[in-house]
Amino acid sequence: MIVNHNTLDDFQAEIGSTSERLHSRTVRAAIDRTPLQVEAITFGVTFTATAMVVDDEEGCYLTRFSQVTGRDDSDTQDGTTAAESLRKTLEDFCDNCGLVVLPGEIEL
């Protein structure tokens, strides 16, 4: 099962309330840049955070947050800047909860 969250606040509330049940007390965070043109001059940028929650009754489930943060091109890095800000917010939250943030994304 996958639980998708619409906001980073919702994702943080989920991992905060289940921090003792997160697999390896680990959250994964990724910034993906996808070319929007053949010449790869413009990139769409997405921030994704995932964690595996171990549930004694139902096994486990993936909790996930993903947000398109904008575009990067040869003049600006707005999408990456916004994604890095989300990652920093998540890292600060996880530090306070005793969780580890590693690069990457968990996929089912």
The topology under which CATH files domain 2-98 is 3.30.720
pTM greater than the 0.95 cutoff? no
Secondary structure of 40-90 in HEC code, one letter for each residue: CCCEEEEEEEEEEEEECCCEEEEEEEEEEEEEECCCCCHHHHHHHHHHHHH
Of 38-42, 47-51, 69-73, least confident by mean pLDDT is 38-42
Which pLDDT score is estimated for 94? 97
Asked if residue 99 has pLDDT above 80, the reply is yes
Which pLDDT score is estimated for 75? 87
Residue 11 and residue 102: Cα distance in Å, rounded? 16
Asked if residue 56 has pLDDT above 80, the reply is no
